C-alpha cells in the first residue's frame, strides 16, 4: 500500500499520489496518461493532474489497481 508520508513532491495536490516505491513500469501512464507522467531525470511516475471527470477518475482507479508494487495511493 502506498505511503502518504513517502509520496513524491512532484505529485499534484489532491486525492491520488505516487510514492517512492514506484519502479517506473509505465502501468499508470498506460492506464491514465492524462493524469500520470514520468520524472525523466529520476525515473519514476507521479500525478501531474488530478482527475476532473468521471472517466479520468475511473482511469486513475484502474492505474491504482494495475500498479505492481502498490505505489499509487488515494486519500
The CATH classification number of 4-74 equals 3.30.70.20
List CB contacts of 6: < 8 A, sequence separation 6 or more: 19, 20, 21
**CA 75/CA 71 separation, integer angstroms:** 13
- Name the 3-class secondary structure at 14: coil
Q: Please, which pLDDT band fits residue 75 given cuts at 50, 70 and 90?
A: confident
- pTM of the prediction? 0.95
Domain ranges in the chain?
A: 4-74
For residue 60, how many C-alpha atoms fall within 13 Å in the half-sphere facing its CB?
25
- Name the 3-class secondary structure at 30: helix
What tens digit of pLDDT does each residue of 4-58 get? Answer: 999 999 999 999 999 999 999 999 999 999 999 999 999 999 999 999 999 999 9
Query: Are residues 24 and 30 in contact, defined by beta-carbon separation less than 8 angstroms?
Result: no
Amino acid at each position: 500500500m502506498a505511503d502518504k508520508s513517502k509520496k513524491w513532491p512532484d505529485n499534484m495536490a489532491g486525492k491520488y499520489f505516487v510514492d517512492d516505491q514506484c519502479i517506473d513500469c509505465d502501468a499508470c501512464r498506460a492506464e491514465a496518461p492524462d493524469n500520470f507522467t514520468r520524472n525523466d531525470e529520476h525515473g519514476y511516475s507521479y500525478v501531474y493532474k488530478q482527475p476532473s471527470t468521471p472517466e479520468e477518475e475511473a482511469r486513475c482507479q484502474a492505474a491504482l489497481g494495475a500498479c505492481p508494487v502498490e505505489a499509487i495511493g488515494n486519500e
